[in-house]
Structure 1
Amino acid sequence: MKAFIKGISYYLPSAIVTNEDLVNDFPEWNVEKVAAKVGVDSRHLAAADETAGDMAEKAAINLFKEYSINPQNIDFILLCTQSPDYHLPSTACLLQHKLGIPTSAGAFDYDLGCSGCVYGMAIAKGLIYAGIAKNVLLLTAETYTKYLHPSDKSNRSIFGDGAAACLISTDGFAEIGEFVLGTDGSGADMLIIRSGGARMKDKTSKVQLDEEEHYQYDDYLYMNGSEIFNFTLDAVPELFKQILRKNNIKKDDVDYYVFHQANKFMLNTIRKVCQLSKDKFYINLSETGNTVSSTVLIGLKDCLVHKNIIPGMHVMVTGFGVGLSWGGVILKF
């Protein structure tokens, strides 16, 4: 039994915020300097009444149309999101109904961020290998921008909203290889929204300065950029080596790399540490920003459209971030 990617599509909201728009809020900001470092010129923002579930639905519809997929043939739905429509039920259950997928299909959400696409591929492969499903609809959707404080110019410059859809099946154009996954919950405070869950149900309006004198709000997304950067430089090079070992291939056997599109500076640093050539390493978040769990699928789709990835290639994909968590796999096109 093998598992394959059979189709990839995505959806981006219509509203676009450019760096010039951000300068209106932060006139002291050097837009050229920041854009050069993070690699983002513009990002898409979900409308006020547009949820992650809405975006996932649109990404799935795009997938169905592009690949002539009959939703009646889907027997499992996975939705990766940290901004679900409700605390309960799972947004995936709502999508089963909206997309016309049979009631015999399984469906659930899983709460994960930047590594979520890779984790979803692993779950989907497991479902197929176990004989539980034959056609798994993997959806990733996030509206991080709704959880950013208006004064948080750093994160507002990086993150954008978006959704992606991928059909994982018993046949397709990219065989899914062996996974390496990891978790370190001791770093949970490095990327967090403290209020809104059972631990801190009500908003606190509390704000404090971290050690780098960045404002940390309980009620909005907080990211300790320097600690996340350090974590990434510790985890990803080792992840890179483990993926090669797990898939029994050498570095020279990998034709292309699509890593989570965190920001340009971080990606270039990873590339240099892992000693990877520019022409084999994907970086393109100028018009989307960091779309969290959707960056890998958006990147793979972009590479397929522009023929950076063609049949016969071995492609390494990785995700890393909130959790702290990380994961990677080899895709054989």
Structure 2
Amino acid sequence: MHTIINNVQIKAVNAWLPEEVLEMKQLSSLYGEAEVASIMKTTGVERVRIAPKNMTSSDMCLKSAEHLFEQEGFDKAEIDGLVFVSQTTDWLLPATSISLQHRLGLSQELVCMDVHYGCSGYIYGLFQAATWIASGACKNVLVLAGDTTSQMINSNDKSLKMVFGDCGTATIVSEGNTSMGFRINSDGSGADRLIVPAGGFRLPISEETSVLEWDEDKNGRTKNDLFMDGMAIFNFAITKVKKQVKALMEDMGWIKDDVGFYGLHQANEFMVNYVRKSLKADETLTPINVRNYGNTGPATLPLLLSDVCSGEHTYDLSKTIMCGFGVGLSWGSVATDLTNTHFYSPVNK
């Protein structure tokens, strides 16, 4: 799917982080100093934020939204659409977006939708918001994206525990004078490469799914926990992302030297750098913040914007490309102008 949607803009972006910081070096006593050092060198992740067990992704997104409204001086009554992007929803039903409408004190005239996506989810959320605005149904859509991925990871799975962190974000998409170009692709043949096998209706949680199993790399997990075939995801990303981003540039009539900012999904430092090099993108235009936060799923892109574009920076955001890729398998990119977007530094209060 590819399209260009006119007269829409990303108005403001904010991120909220849990207070607890897990330093990867703290895990040396659990996994061994040499193993921890090796994983840190590969992923570039030095620390992540971990949400308390009683905190959900919707709680973090709510805090992010409330802070964003306060900073913007934005009237909640002007929000007429809400998209909640998360793989860690509050319930199987009802939709968490409906609950957030009430908790945020938004209008009952609101249209709400849950988008059950991970690393590409922010692009899907922006696309949904832009289409609602383009149709004339909405003028201001709140896109909330976040996950508590740490709660899906078995403590015996060092390959994931040392990569994923938690975060909630809020973005306001509104009517405007800019355009948003989208490219979105899906390949369900790779669904088993990044998955929580049990817990849905196809495989309900049971005694059998709760049995701890070990892989050849000595990572332990049950079928109730998150599983990722890291090499398969890496191979997928390096073959698909470059092609999609280049096609999106052609859609927009841009060349590589036009782009002033590349926001790439922060899977890990090695993967971001590999994708950047495949695009021949300048290192100074492709920031990496995975060191301090890890992979926060659908929150990585808005967290990146909140982290590196708030305050003083040297990026030319007039031609920005962002790309998310992962679970599904799915990958999506957006090209837009963020010159007039307001960015607020991540908060945790």
TM-score (norm 1): 0.95
Change (3 A) 1:261 1:216: same
Deviation of 1:311 after TM superposition, in Å, equals 6.0
The residue number in structure 1 matching 2:266 is 261
Deviation of 1:300 after TM superposition, in Å, equals 1.3
Farther off after superposition, 308-317 or 69-78: 308-317
Partner Cα separation in structure 1 for residue 234 and residue 71 of structure 2: 37
- Aligned-partner residue type, residue 49 of structure 2: H
Partner Cα separation in structure 2 for residue 114 and residue 312 of structure 1: 22
Partner Cα separation in structure 1 for residue 37 and residue 211 of structure 2: 33
Q: Work out whether 1:190 is the aligned partner of 2:193.
A: yes
The residue number in structure 2 matching 1:120 is 125
The residue number in structure 2 matching 1:177 is 180
Q: Percent identity?
A: 33
Change (3 A) 1:177 1:123: same
Partner Cα separation in structure 1 for residue 25 and residue 229 of structure 2: 25
Partner Cα separation in structure 2 for residue 132 and residue 228 of structure 1: 37
Partner Cα separation in structure 2 for residue 90 and residue 99 of structure 1: 15
The residue number in structure 2 matching 1:142 is 147
Partner Cα separation in structure 2 for residue 177 and residue 109 of structure 1: 21
8 Å CA contact 2:156–2:219 kept in 1: the answer is no
Aligned with residue 110 of structure 2, among 105, 111, 125: 105
Change (3 A) 1:206 1:30: closer
Number of aligned residue pairs: 331
Aligned with residue 164 of structure 2, among 156, 159, 164: 159
Deviation of 1:215 after TM superposition, in Å, equals 4.7
8 Å CA contact 1:5–1:176 kept in 2: the answer is no
The residue number in structure 1 matching 2:27 is 22
8 Å CA contact 2:157–2:221 kept in 1: the answer is no
8 Å CA contact 2:261–2:317 kept in 1: the answer is no
Q: Work out whether 1:75 is the aligned partner of 2:77.
A: no
Deviation of 1:107 after TM superposition, in Å, equals 0.9
Aligned with residue 307 of structure 2, among 302, 310, 331: 302
SS of structure 2 residue aligned to 1:182: strand
Which runs of structure 2 are paired with 1:210-249 in the superposition (5 Å)?
Answer: 215=220, 217-249=222-254
Deviation of 1:312 after TM superposition, in Å, equals 5.7
Aligned structure 1 segments of 4 or more residues deviating by more than 3 angstroms: 28-33, 206-216, 306-312
Unaligned runs of 5+ residues in structure 2 are: 1-5, 340-349
Partner Cα separation in structure 1 for residue 336 and residue 313 of structure 2: 14
- Aligned-partner residue type, residue 139 of structure 1: L
Any idea what the Cα deviations from partners look like across 1:43-70, whole Å, max 9, x if unmatched? 1111011011111111111111111111
The residue number in structure 1 matching 2:210 is 205
SS of structure 1 residue aligned to 2:66: helix
Farther off after superposition, 204-213 or 255-264: 204-213
SS of structure 2 residue aligned to 1:244: helix
Unaligned runs of 5+ residues in structure 1 are: none
SS of structure 2 residue aligned to 1:83: coil
Deviation of 1:310 after TM superposition, in Å, equals 5.0
Change (3 A) 1:29 1:146: farther
Deviation of 1:235 after TM superposition, in Å, equals 0.8
Farther off after superposition, 146-155 or 275-284: 275-284
Superposition RMSD in Å: 1.7
8 Å CA contact 1:177–1:247 kept in 2: the answer is no
8 Å CA contact 2:156–2:220 kept in 1: the answer is no
- Aligned-partner residue type, residue 283 of structure 2: K
The residue number in structure 2 matching 1:322 is 327
Which runs of structure 2 are paired with 1:286-301 in the superposition (5 Å)?
Answer: 286-301=291-306
Deviation of 1:179 after TM superposition, in Å, equals 0.2
Any idea what the Cα deviations from partners look like across 1:173-192, whole Å, max 9, x if unmatched? xx342100000000000000
8 Å CA contact 1:162–1:291 kept in 2: the answer is yes
